[in-house]
């Protein structure tokens, strides 16, 4: 028979089992943390009507969409989890309780140019809090607490959640009469980390921002010190602009409550350069960095938006949310060997029978499984050495060999595969096993 080459599409992650175990653990830790804050699960279709999914999209996004016709239906694959959320909330507005706090962990699709570490199919892990008409700014302080708990849970200590407020930036530009240029200026100063101060000034000059305004902008961006010093300096700017004042007030509130939520000052800071490229955000914005690995870019970002679902409904639905791009994060962390696993195997124990009759091995497995111990029986006929090699390759931490001797002596020997230590149990005591 002619064989087809078993290929996987470029840009689609497919892991070996030992890596998949690590991936699943990361995913589960994120999910458990989201649940700890009471977020509700949501699962929306991967396919949507193009008309619905692309109500807002355009430009770059639209080019990347996987879009096709099935029968006479124009269908697209979702490219994020925010648009499906908007649709869902607009559609089910009358049946949802607000604030609607949901998490969604699922695959999204973008037909980007493939390159190392970029994926066309990837998991996003999102939470959003949606208010009906209004949403207290204290919610903006709770999300950093979720971010903090997620990354602590993933085994990280040295990370920084950077917080800013778009109203402060917007207000500054208004006060400088640069409101028209605001989006463009934001885009430019957002690059300061990448291209440096001089290049930013040059780009600002190119779009004809006055010397005086550039000076004010750079003074503003260069505000430094502790979080409290930054807030004090912002106050001392005495900028007479309502948007600026409101933003500063919100930021002050957020900082206060971020501390109340128990985030140490070593794990968050006010960073006035963060704008988040999108026009979408209107208040608090977040980015998160591993301090030893800044080159990974932000590993968890998000912010406050004014109106979630304006393309679908007249209801005003303000929200605040964050997103973790899990596939890329996993890929990078795995490459850097930074994933802290609780377990490296699914099975806790491998039972290796060296006899033909499987009755005893199965009975022992039954007992162990009842106890909640993940147990595998090696059921195929192989040499002892091959069976041990199997346990080794799967990194199963404990092995029980059952041969004639064990059957006759009515005992089970549990071998720790790392230390080589063995403990003996009688058959009837097997449920007292300690692993």
CA distance 408 to 422: 18
The conformation of residue 113, written as its DSSP 8-state character, comes to P
The CB-of-287 to a copy of itself minimum distance in angstroms stands at 23
Tell me the DSSP string of 354-385: -SS--HHHHHHHHHHHHTT--EEE--S---HH
Nearest approach, Cβ of residue 259 and a copy of itself (Å)? 10
At a CB cut-off of 8 Å and minimum separation 6, what does 148 contact?
A: 161, 261, 262, 263, 267, 268
Residue 114, classed as helix, strand or coil, is coil
Sheet of 67-70: strand order equals: 47-49, 73-77, 67-70
316 CB neighbour count, 10 Å cutoff: 14
Out of 29, 78, 87, 304, the residue judged to bind a copy of itself by CB under 8 A: 87
**Residue 165, interface with a copy of itself (CB under 8 A)?**
no
Tokens coding 288: 């998160």
Question: Would you count residue 21 as binding a copy of itself (CB under 8 A)?
Answer: yes
Within residues 374-403, the interface with a copy of itself by CB under 8 A covers 374-377, 379-381, 390, 393-394, 396
| Structure-token match 């503003």, residue found | 220
Q: Which CB sits closer to a copy of itself, 136 or 241?
A: 136
Compute the least distance from the CB of residue 49 to a copy of itself, in Å: 6
Site string for a copy of itself, 247-286 (x = CB under 8 A): ----------x--xxx------------------------
245 interacts with a copy of itself by CB under 8 A: no
Of 350, 401, 412, 414, which one interacts with a copy of itself (CB under 8 A)? Answer: 350
Q: Shortest CA distance to 390 belongs to which of 334, 433, 434, 351? A: 351
- Give the nearest distance from C-beta 244 to a copy of itself in angstroms: 24
Q: What are the tokens at 29?
A: 């830790």
Q: Is 411 in the site for a copy of itself (CB under 8 A)?
A: no
Q: Where are the beta strands (DSSP E) in 255-404?
A: 268-270, 281-290, 301-305, 319-325, 349-353, 375-377, 398-402
Closest by CA position to 323, among listed 84, 134, 88, 95: 84
Q: Which of residues 43-82 bind a copy of itself (CB under 8 A)?
A: 43-49, 51-52, 55, 66-71, 73, 75
Tell me the closest approach of the beta carbon of residue 293 to a copy of itself, in angstroms.
25
Q: Does residue number 121 form part of the binding site for a copy of itself (CB under 8 A)?
A: yes
Stretch that binds a copy of itself, among 154-162, 189-197, 311-319, 406-414 (CB under 8 A): 311-319
Pick from 95, 236, 238, 337 the residue near a copy of itself by CB under 8 A: 95
CA–CA separation, 199 and 74 (whole Å): 44
Minimal distance, residue 27 CB to a copy of itself, in Å: 9
Shortest distance, CB of residue 184 to a copy of itself, whole angstroms?
24
Residue count, binding to a copy of itself (CB under 8 A):
100
* Phi, psi of 305, rounded to the nearest 5 degrees: -125, 155
- Rule CB under 8 A: choose which of 61, 252, 313, 334 binds a copy of itself: 313
The only residue of 29, 78, 101, 166 in contact with a copy of itself, by rule CB under 8 A:
101
Cis before 317? omega within 30? no
Q: Which of 78, 80, 72 is nearest to 48 (CA)?
A: 78
Query: Nearer to a copy of itself by C-beta: 52 or 223?
Result: 52
In the complex, least distance from residue 192 CB atom to a copy of itself, rounded to whole angstroms: 33
At 35, list the tokens.
């649940």
- Give 90 or 172: the residue with its C-beta nearer to a copy of itself: 90
Residue 223: CB minimum distance to a copy of itself, A = 27
Bridge partners, 413 (sequence order): 401, 424
Q: Which one of residues 251, 285, 347, 352 is an interface residue with a copy of itself (CB under 8 A)?
A: 347
């Amino acid at each position: 028979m002619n064989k087809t080459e078993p290929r996987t599409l470029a840009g689609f992650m497919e892991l070996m089992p030992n890596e998949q175990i690590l991936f699943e653990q990361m995913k589960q830790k994120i999910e458990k943390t989201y649940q700890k804050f009471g977020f509700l699960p949501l699962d929306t279709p991967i396919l949507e009507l193009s008309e619905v999914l692309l109500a807002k999209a355009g430009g770059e996004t639209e080019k990347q969409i996987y879009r096709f016709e099935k029968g006479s239906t124009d269908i697209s694959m979702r490219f994020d989890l925010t648009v499906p959320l908007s649709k869902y909330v607009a559609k089910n507005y009358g049946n949802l309780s607000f604030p609607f706090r949901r998490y969604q962990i699922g695959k999204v699709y973008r037909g980007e140019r493939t390159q190392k570490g970029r994926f066309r199919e990837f998991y996003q892990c999102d939470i959003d809090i949606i208010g009906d008409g209004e949403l207290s700014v204290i919610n903006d302080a709770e999300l950093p607490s979720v971010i903090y708990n997620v990354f602590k849970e993933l085994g990280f200590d040295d990370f920084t959640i950077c917080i800013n407020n778009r109203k402060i930036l917007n207000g500054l530009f208004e006060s400088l009469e640069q409101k028209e240029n605001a989006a463009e200026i934001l885009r430019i100063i957002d690059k300061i980390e990448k291209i440096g101060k001089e290049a930013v000034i040059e780009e600002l000059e190119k779009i004809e921002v006055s010397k005086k305004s550039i000076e004010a902008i750079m003074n503003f961006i260069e505000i430094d010190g502790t979080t409290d010093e930054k807030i004090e300096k912002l106050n001392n700017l005495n900028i007479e602009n309502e948007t600026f004042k409101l933003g500063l007030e919100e930021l002050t509130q957020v900082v206060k409550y971020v501390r109340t939520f128990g985030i140490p000052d070593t794990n968050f800071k006010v960073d006035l350069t963060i704008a988040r490229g999108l026009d979408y955000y209107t208040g608090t914005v977040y980015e998160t960095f591993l301090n030893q690995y800044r080159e990974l870019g932000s590993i968890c970002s998000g912010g406050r938006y004014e109106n979630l679902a304006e393309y679908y409904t007249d209801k005003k639905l303000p929200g605040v949310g964050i997103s973790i791009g899990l596939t890329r994060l996993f890929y990078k962390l795995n490459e850097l060997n930074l994933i802290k696993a609780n377990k490296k195997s699914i099975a806790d124990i491998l039972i290796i029978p060296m006899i033909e009759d499987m009755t005893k091995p199965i009975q022992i497995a039954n007992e162990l499984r009842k106890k909640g111990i993940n147990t595998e029986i090696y059921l195929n006929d192989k040499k002892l050495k091959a069976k041990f090699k199997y346990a080794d390759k799967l990194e199963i931490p404990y092995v029980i060999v059952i041969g004639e001797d064990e059957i006759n002596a009515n005992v089970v020997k549990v071998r720790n595969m790392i230390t080589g230590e063995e403990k003996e149990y009688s058959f009837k005591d097997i449920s007292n096993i300690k692993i």
